[in-house]
Amino acid sequence: MWQTLQEELGPHGLTIIAVAIDNDIEALREWTEAAPGLIYAVDREYMVAERYGIVNVPATVWIDESGRIVRPADTAMGDDRFRDFAHVDSSVHHDHLRNWVLHNERDVDDAAVAELMERPSPELQQARLHRRIAVLLHDRGDVEGAREHLASATALAPHDWVIRRGSMPMNDVDPFGPEFFAFVGEWAAAGSPGYRLGTGREEPKGPEYWNQ
């Protein structure tokens, strides 16, 4: 769907840069080959995630023609294939996007954008550094060393999806397996941090739902 939106809105001035918050380039190829019309970039070190406050994927940030952030990181689905799981109606975000590109109308103003930016805690910054070390060690084949640093990162940022879930493949953990669902339950019990805008969210799900 993102590629369709690029085709639809590109002539009206929109460029989608699809930034993979991921250190496994080979695992990304099946997705990029399925939608070859988008511009791709790989954020192995989580630098874009850090600087734009991205704590989960898929998420979008809007940047206007003058280089200003005009909509903060917000969960946004390309289509409704995860609707039963994530309870997000993807079309709501797409309609907001059309309004912005075609009519310069936004659903959030500057004050709200500043308020909604996810400013990092010192612990989250430390977690990102641990993850960066883990990626380097993993690249060098030091799986044990990578695990230690991923464990430290998780302890420091237990509710950050890109830290927590993004570490699962390096730890040989299934990102759709039991550990993931346990994490989602924990995250929901903590009040679903990081879902502050919640565009298209159909109804908030409490921990009881995730722990079923």
Partner 1 sequence: MATVINDVAGGEIEHVEVEASLGERWLMEPAAFETLTGWTLKPEGMCRGNVCAPIYQRDAVLADGLVDLLGAAPVIGRSAVVDSKRGVAALGASAAARGEEMTSLQAPDFTLNDMNGQPVSLHNFERRKVLLLAWSSW
Instruction: Kindly give, in sequence order, each residue whose CB lies less than 8 Å from that of residue 186, ignoring residues fewer than 6 positions away.
Output: 158, 159, 207
Q: Is 54 in the site for partner 1 (CB under 8 A)?
A: yes
Give the Å distances, CA to CA, from 116 to 73, 93, 112, 197. 8, 16, 6, 8
For partner 1, the binding residues in 93-112 under the rule CB under 8 A are 97, 100-101, 110
The residue within the footprint of partner 1, chosen from 114, 143, 155, 190 (CB under 8 A), is: 114
According to the 3-state scheme, what is the secondary structure of 185-209?
Answer: HHHHHCCCCCCCCCCCECCCCCHHH
The residue within the footprint of partner 1, chosen from 86, 89, 112, 120 (CB under 8 A), is: 120
Burial state string for 162-191 with b = 16 or more CB within 10 A and e = fewer than 16 = bbbbbbbebbeeeeeeeebeebbbebbeee
Q: Is 40 in the site for partner 1 (CB under 8 A)?
A: yes
Q: Minimum distance between the CB of residue 91 and partner 1, rounded to whole angstroms?
A: 16
Q: Minimum distance between the CB of residue 56 and partner 1, rounded to whole angstroms?
A: 8
Q: Is 203 in the site for partner 1 (CB under 8 A)?
A: no
Half-sphere exposure of 34 (CA within 13 A, CB side): 7
Rounded distance, CA 208 to CA 161, Å? Answer: 19
Q: Considering beta carbons, is residue 51 or 81 the nearer one to partner 1? A: 51
Rounded distance, CA 151 to CA 173, Å? Answer: 13
Q: Minimum distance between the CB of residue 43 and partner 1, rounded to whole angstroms?
A: 6
The residue within the footprint of partner 1, chosen from 88, 90, 137, 160 (CB under 8 A), is: 137
Q: Is 58 in the site for partner 1 (CB under 8 A)?
A: yes
Q: What is the largest CA-CA distance in the chain?
A: 52
Q: Minimum distance between the CB of residue 167 and partner 1, rounded to whole angstroms?
A: 9
Of 29-37, 84-92, 191-199, 201-209: span binding partner 1 (CB under 8 A): 29-37
Q: Minimum distance between the CB of residue 191 and partner 1, rounded to whole angstroms?
A: 21
For partner 1, the binding residues in 144-173 under the rule CB under 8 A are 145, 149, 152, 162, 165-166, 168-169
Whether residue 138 contacts residue 170, with contact meaning beta carbons closer than 8 Å, is answered with yes
Q: Is 82 in the site for partner 1 (CB under 8 A)?
A: no
Residue type, 188: A
According to DSSP, residue 166 is labeled: G
Query: In this structure, what token pair is assigned to residue 51?
Result: 């600087």
Of 58-66, 81-89, 188-196, 198-206: span binding partner 1 (CB under 8 A): 58-66
